[in-house]
Chains A and B, each alone.
Chain A
Amino acid sequence: MDPTEVEFLAEKEIVKIIPNFSLDKIYLIGGDLGPFNPGLPVQVPVWLALNLKQRQKCRILPPQWMDVDKLEEVREMERKEDSFTPPPSPYYMELTKLLLNHASDNIPKADEIRTLVKDIWDTRIAKLRLSADSFISQQEAHAKLDNLTLMEINTTRSFLLGSLNCMFKLRSNMQPGTSTGKGPDY
């Protein structure tokens, strides 16, 4: 899966916007949206919110978790725990990127939020690398990781699978016919 595909999925998330136009309910395949009343918050998918924002038709209200205090809490939590803590949102990275890139004027303390989310991301990716490392060094057959987001799985998937394949090849070349028992020397 491509990161863009993940981002595409993230765009289905719902956010609140304050439109500055008025429009009756619109009926779409994905569901009905609206009605849009100027000045009144309404829930729409991110793709529509961004589209309207780009056309200066609305203000985006940041999602609840996109708040400096809450994110700081999550970050501390993430640093304290060895395992993965539940992410603030299943698409937190994508949404942060999308909203901050397109609607940073509607989000208070946008820079701090960007830093915080990046911190959380880095911490989680570091944990992921660590667990992949121990997974390989212990030569486990399977592992289970909770609370990973789609984007995180995707970032590590191609590399992990490729390297596992590669190692498998190397290993089978080095020790033809014997089962793995000795310590790996990579």
Chain B
Amino acid sequence: MPCERKPMRYGHSEGHTDVTFDDAGKFIVTCGSDGDVRIWESLDDDDPRSINVGEKAYSLALKKRKLVTAGSNNTVQIHTFPEGDPDGILTRFTTHATHVAFNHSGSRVAAGSSDFMVKVVEVADSSQQKTLRGHDAPVLSVTFDPKDEFLASASCDGSVVIWKIDEQTKVTSWPVLQKSNDVSTAKSLCRLGWQPKTAKLLAVPVGLKVHLYERDSWEHVSTLSDDMMTQPINVVAWSPCGQLLAAGSVGGFLTVWNAESKLCVERQKHEKGYTVCGLAWHPSGRQLAYTDTQGSLGLLDDLPTASSATKTPKVAANDYDDLFDEDDDRAMDEGLSDTHSPAKRPVAGGDDDDDDDLMPATGRVKNRSSFLDDENSLDTVSLALGQGKYGDDDDAGSTVAPPTGPSLPLRPAYEGPLPTLPQKPFQPGSTPAHLTHRFMTWNSVGVVRGYNDDQDNAVDVEFHDTAVHHAMHLTNALGHTLADLSQEAVLLACPATDELASKLQCLHFSSWDANKEWIVDLPAGEDVRALVLGQGWAAAATSARTLRLFTVGGVQKEIFSLPGHVVSMAAHGEQLLVVYHRGTGFDGDQALGVQLLQLGRRKRQVIHGEPLPLSCKAHLAWLGFTAEGTPCYVDSEGVVRMLNRSLGNTWTPVCNTRETCKGKSDHFWVVAVHENPQQLRCIPCKGSRYPPTLPRPAVAILPFKLPLCQTTTEKGQMEEQYWRSTLLQNHYSFLSSSGYEIDDEGQNQNQKEQQELLMKMFALSCKLEREFRCMELAELMTQSVVTLAVRYASRSRRMNLAQRLNELAMEKANQLQEEQEQEEEEVQEEEHHTPRSRRPAPLGGPSGKQSKGPVLKPLAPKPKTKVSLIQRPWTGFQLWLEENRKSILADSPDLQETDVIKAAMGSFRSLSAEDRLVRGSDWDEIAGDRTSNLSVTRELAKPTELPPPFHPYIPLHRLLLIWGFIDK
């Protein structure tokens, strides 16, 4: 039959306590650090009698109507019991006594003290004292031999000593304890217990176990242990019958062993896990009172008797319903602490008959098997899980209740990956909303700060460039928490309150009329979660998973649904980037999706909700566009990723800010990214993820660095430089394709730099004799640089390489030509059919206020120019070659491209003058026709003229050079 754990009740103020029963078992007597001794008629006694014995009471002993207490006033006092009248002072120490104990008959009292001494005093005549000297540290506890011959004491010096009382000598000593300086710092109180009646065994709590020493031989005969015991045992107490030993531990575990069979017969856990520091058996042996260091008193009732315990040690689970209740609460964090094989855990709520299988419900069954395997334990087990009734308790066996505790995960059998909490929505460049002074946003335009302290609830808007607008100070009556800032407006939003709907407020300061502000109420139940300002428009994503578009003047525009809850949004010009929760992430990862929309006149979705790549277990920390309009984001691991439009809209990591951090907890708080010049503008934060508003943080600049391999070597360095340059050049083509003016000079510069890098790498590979690699590099070069490479190769006497490069050069030249032809055709078609369909529409930018600063990169519309049509005209020779190529090839099929041209050139020249006049002019005329289709008038090439260089892109002298090599 399981014992009953009565609920704890308040006994004393917080601190060390001790407990005992009176001889008859009528009262529970406790003492505590409040200096009171309380006499409880039962645990439910609401009005216990208090006796004040001093400032603090460390220990008490009660026998024969005498109450002996060890107090803080360095004395051991006697009071009468139960009256509580002072009955004199038994003995004094130089410091306070730590433990007092009666002998069996109650004629003597032993007291241990912090002054290293143990005294044995006759109760009747306190002048008869025996002092036991020999400990080198405060005495932890004392206990009498029931036969009154010996006395055992434990001390902070780590020893347990057996004294012969009469001779005041040490009989033996075991250095088994952990040493400490003082009782208060000792790991364990080490209350000793001498077996009553037979007086055969002395129980000594040593760490997690209880050592049993045999009287007279003083040998360590056995050890009692329990696998559930995870912290040192504080106290032990023998049952009055002398067969059961109870122990209470630091972690609040209570265990009862049968000393003979060494089996654990009862096991309980303190309801709050506080340290048990007092333990006493009821004289009947059916109750166990205990107290903890928090001053509470508890009682275990209906304990198994020694006889029944020896018969059928039996397992039941009275706590199982509690256990599984707890499981439901912890289902979320399961697996965090669980290191045991969860597969062995059965599913909760199985049927009652299933005894054997249900037994290993703790996941530690292997450890416990030592006692469970014994006798008939397993086959009589019956569990009623989750139903609150105990199975099979007729034969009143002892119980083993598996203790509950945080170290012991008892969970249902789910063992898969755990879902991650979805990250909260945020504005890029904002600090957490709970701060009283925070950045609501910091972007390339300016800073919005929010103050929410006792005096003031306000919003400060400050512009980096005071030319945009002067700083503003707004009172934040609505309680805005979200903000965004652009060259045209400030957008603010507040969540809904009980009375007010969620509002979107826009301060359109660039408006030319007098009304510079508008407010929109969202429908009830819809909260703004993220907002963003583009050029001439604003967007707000709401808790209803909708995205609402507005013009900057306040006209409602499109509305559409998002596939998940929004995480963050960013805008640039007409682009809108939305990141949302795609689903539930697992094991610390977030599952985010990203959409990129083009909103201008030609609306389309560029990225259709693809997963957003993040570092392992990271969340999104910043989202935005580079100043040039390339989407970009930073995750919590500090990795900056940028959209690579030339590689099918993939994301390329361009920088890891954490690599630049000095300290482990330092971070960089990204505020802006620029592609030209390559700059990552961020605020270094020492020891935090975000900066404080005061003192004003200063922006630092980090360079980009693609995480290529071996960037310490020259090769790796150049490769990194090349690919970085290529990646960051993508914005030129994007800008020009979406109709913005681009910095041609910069682009050319960029390309030149790339080609130079390629040439350098080429030279390096040449030096390293890696000709194949040279070819690979040459593939990346433009045609004109390949010719340079040819020259370099031939100079360094690599004829094979030069030959191959030359072929490549030709191929590239042809390719170029073909491309150009195609382009021309396309242009022609366009000119004929839809002359202006693809002309970019001029963008309505705000007038005047835009500055040309490189930070802001205002998107200037491309000036309306006619598509330049100055194409290379077709020459007569080219047409002729086209016509006659087949015949030349038929004549000599093994000719290479260059040779074909050479041969063709020869035969074209050898045409008779007449032929040329007739046919040649024909050719030229036809060529002229073709070119004139391009609406460019051009004088026909005169037939007498030498044909122009056959290829428009290789200057003649270079060509000759090439030929020269081939001839060699």
Task: List residues of A whose CB falls within 8 A of some B CB.
Answer: 16, 18, 20-23, 35, 37-41, 56-57, 59, 61, 108
- Chain A residues whose CB sits within 8 angstroms of the CB of B699 once the complex forms: 18, 39-41
B724 within 8 A of A: no
Q: Which residues of chain B are within 8 angstroms of A22 by Cβ–Cβ distance?
A: 465, 467, 851-856
Residues of chain B at interface, number, CB under 8 A:
20
**Bound Cα distance from A37 to B855, whole angstroms:** 6
Q: How far is the CB of A1 from chain B (nearest CB, A)?
A: 35
Q: Are A40 and B681 in contact (CB under 8 A)?
A: yes
Q: With A20-B463, A20-B465, A21-B465 as given contacts, are A35 and B698 in contact (CB-CB < 8 Å)?
A: no
Given A20-B464, A21-B465, A21-B466: A38 touches B855 (CB 8 Å cut-off): yes
CB neighbours (8 Å) of B464 from chain A are 20, 38-39
Give the Cβ gap from B682 to chain A, nearest Cβ, in Å.
Answer: 11
Contact with B855, one of A40, A41, A57 (Cβ below 8 angstroms): A40
Q: How far is the CB of A30 from chain B (nearest CB, A)?
A: 23
Q: Which among A16, A20, A41, A61 is the interface contact of B466 at CB below 8 angstroms?
A: A20
Q: A21 near B467 (CB under 8 angstroms)?
A: yes
- Contacts A22-B855, A38-B853, A39-B855 known; A108 to B467 CB distance under 8 Å? no
**Majority secondary structure, B binding face:** loop
**9 closest A-B pairs by CB:** A22-B853, A39-B464, A38-B464, A38-B465, A37-B855, A20-B466, A108-B695, A41-B698, A22-B851
Measured CB to CB, the closest approach of chain A to B81, in angstroms, equals 65
- Given A21-B465, A38-B855, list of 16 further CB < 8 A pairs? A18-B699, A20-B465, A21-B466, A22-B465, A22-B851, A22-B854, A22-B855, A38-B463, A38-B853, A38-B856, A39-B464, A39-B465, A40-B699, A40-B701, A41-B699, A59-B696
Q: Mark B156-187, 1 if CB is under 8 A from A, else 0.
A: 00000000000000000000000000000000
Instruction: Report A-chain residues with C-beta under 8 Å of the C-beta of B463.
Output: 20, 38
Whole-angstrom distance from the CB of A120 to the nearest CB of chain B? 23
- In this assembly, does B30 line the interface, its C-beta being within 8 Å of a C-beta of chain A? no
- CB-CB under 8 A from A21, the residues of chain B are 465-467, 853
Minimum CB–CB distance from A17 to chain B (whole Å) comes to 10
Does residue B362 face the partner (Cβ distance < 8 Å to A)?
no
Question: Contact check: which of A18, A56, A57, A108 meets B698 at CB < 8 Å?
Answer: A18
Residues on A with beta carbons closer than 8 Å to the beta carbon of B851: 22
Residues of chain B at the chain A interface (Cβ within 8 Å): 444, 446, 463-467, 681, 695-696, 698-701, 851-856
CB-nearest residue of chain B to A106: B696
Say yes or no: B698 contacts A37, CB within 8 Å.
no
Distance to closest chain B CB from A69 (angstroms) = 14
Report the minimum CB–CB distance from B237 to chain A (whole Å).
Answer: 59
From known contacts A22-B851, A22-B855, A38-B853, infer whether A61 and B465 are also in contact, taking CB-CB under 8 Å.
no
Residues of B within 8 A of A23 (CB): 853
Q: For the complex formed, measure the closest distance between the CB of B594 and the CB atoms of chain A, giving whole angstroms.
A: 27
A/B interface sample: 25 pairs, CB < 8 A: A18-B699, A20-B464, A21-B853, A22-B465, A22-B851, A22-B853, A22-B855, A22-B856, A37-B854, A38-B464, A38-B465, A38-B466, A38-B853, A38-B856, A39-B444, A39-B699, A39-B855, A40-B681, A40-B699, A40-B701, A40-B855, A41-B698, A41-B699, A57-B466, A59-B696
Minimum C-beta distance from B478 to chain A (A): 28
> In whole angstroms, how far apart are the Cα atoms of A57 and B467 in the complex?
10
Q: What residues of A have a CB within 8 angstroms of the CB of B852 in the complex?
A: 22
| Assembled-state Cα–Cα distance A18/B698 (Å) | 8
A151 to B533, CA, bound (A): 54
Distance of B300 from chain A, by nearest CB (Å):
60
Q: Which of A16, A35, A37, A61 has the most CB of B within 10 A?
A: A37
Residues of B within 8 A of A108 (CB): 695
- Nearest to A39 among chain B residues (CB) is B464
CB distance from A33 to the nearest CB of B (A): 15
Closest to A61 in B: B698
* CB nearest to B442 among chain A residues: A39
Chain B residues lying within 8 Å of A59, measured Cβ to Cβ, are: 696
CB-defined contacts of B856 to chain A, threshold 8 Å: 22, 38
Give Cα distance in the complex from A12 to B601, angstroms.
53
Residues on B with beta carbons closer than 8 Å to the beta carbon of A18:
698-699
Nearest chain A CB to B449 CB, angstrom units: 14
Residues on the B chain within 8 Å of A41, using CB: 698-700
CA distance in complex: A40, B695 (Å) = 16
A24 → chain B, closest Cβ, in Å? Answer: 8
List, in ascending order, chain A residues with CB within 8 A of B446's CB. 39
A130 to chain B, nearest CB (A): 39
Q: Which residues of A contact B467 (CB under 8 A)?
A: 21-22
Complex Cα distance A22/B681, Å? 16
Please indicate the chain A residues that have their CB under 8 angstroms from the CB of B700 in the complex: 41
Known contacts being A40-B681, A61-B698, is A35 close to B465, with CB within 8 Å?
no
**Bound form: Cα–Cα A18–B466 in Å:** 12
Residues of B within 8 A of A20 (CB): 463-466
Of all chain A residues, the one with the shortest Cβ separation from B465 is A38
CB-CB nearest in chain A for B694:
A108
Instruction: Report B551 CB to chain A, min CB distance, Å.
Output: 27
CA distance A18 to B696 in the complex (A): 11
How far, in Å, is B692 (CB) from chain A's closest CB? 12
Task: With CB as the reference atom, state the residue of chain A lying closest to B679.
Answer: A40
A18 to B853: give the CA distance in the assembly, Å: 15
Chain A residue nearest to B855 (CB atoms) is: A37
Closest to A18 in B: B698
- A59 and B856 CA atoms in complex are apart in Å by 19
In the complex formed, the residue of A with least CB distance to B701 is A40
Residues of B within 8 A of A40 (CB): 681, 699, 701, 855
B855 contact set on A, CB distance < 8 A: 22, 37-40
Give Cα distance in the complex from A78 to B856, angstroms: 48
Q: How far is the CB of A112 from chain B (nearest CB, A)?
A: 14
When C-beta atoms are compared, the residue in chain A nearest to B700 turns out to be: A41
Name A37's contact: one of B466, B695, B696, B853 (CB within 8 Å). Answer: B853
Tell me the bound Cα distance from A70 to B778 in angstroms. Answer: 56
A146 to B327, CA, bound (A): 75
Centre residue among A16, A23, A39, A41 by max chain B CB count within 10 A: A39
